[in-house]
Amino acid sequence: MRLPEDRAVDEIYASNTTFIVKIVAAVVIAFLLAFLFNFPLGKNIKNYVEGAIAKNRACPLTYDELTVGFFLPKLSFLNLNVPGRCFQKPGQNLKFSEANVRISMPSIWPLGIKLKIEARGDGLRINAFPRLSVTGTDIQIEDSYIQGRFLRSFLPVNLQGDIKIQGNGKLEGKKITQGSLKIESENLYVPAQSIMGFNLIPLPLKAFQLAGTYINKTFNIKALRIGEQMAPLHAEFRGTMKPNNSNLNLSPLSLDGRVKFTDQFLNEISLLRILLNGKPNRESYYYLRLDGTLGAAKPTFVDPP
């Protein structure tokens, strides 16, 4: 069947236009691929990152290997080591078998770039999403956990179990100005050990929860729960803590709450039973106020409400 001349011209023109667009697209893609594979872009980025790390003498990171990826753009560190002095813990380094920094997606509001930081180590997994924008830096933490064996080098208490972490924060410079944090565990276990002269029996606490918000340089603790109802030790507190950026153990505390011990626990620690003798309680709960600092809390027993 013969097409009308005007229709034939339109179809031939449309076909030629589509063909030309495909040719142009193919040329552009070929040029970009040639540029990426022949121009030392990855090497330049790697040199820039290595130079920036070398200049950061306050927190000198070390690693075995750094690679640059383009699909999606990312930096990968093998066996990354973060010195303890970066977070006021000299000699207690953070070691990651692998750490990646990649572009996640653009942020529409506020306008900026969203990154994804993934870090893996022995007993540690961190997934953080920093968002860099004209209004500042936000960071979100989710699907992250710390295991007890990782905490042994940082805490005076030997712990076992999985501790889940999630939260968010707003940064100005290198300081957090506001945010929220939730830490919880369902299988926390404290093996038998000696703490501050007390020989503790094994404590299957199981439950642990810490939740609060940070604003005006104060961490407002909405819930601090240690141990399930039938655990050897069960405690509940609320209050505030003012974090000390130089030494967390010197952070002032102001907490109110209650604590309960099983008879077996008190029988094992006779000094604690003597301390509690004559103190008012309600349904086996002793009510108290914790002042002082995080590293040297001072309990004061109060009358039950």
pLDDT, tens digit, 9 for 90 and up, residues 137-178? 889 999 999 998 888 777 778 899 999 999 999 988 767 889
- 107-141 pLDDT, tens digit each: 665 667 788 889 998 889 999 988 877 777 889 99
Burial of 40 (C-beta count, 10 Å sphere; 0-12/13-18/19+): exposed
Quick one: pLDDT band at residue 20, thresholds 50, 70, 90? very low
Q: What is the pLDDT of residue 122?
A: 86
Cα-Cα-Cα-Cα torsion 261, 267, 272, 275, nearest 10 degrees, comes to 100
Global confidence as pTM: 0.77
Domain definitions of the chain by residue range:
1-39, 42-134, 150-305
Q: Count Cβ neighbours within 10 Å for each residue of 163-183 and write b for 16 or more, e otherwise.
A: bbbbbbbbbeeeebeebbbbb
Is pLDDT of 72 > 60?
Answer: yes
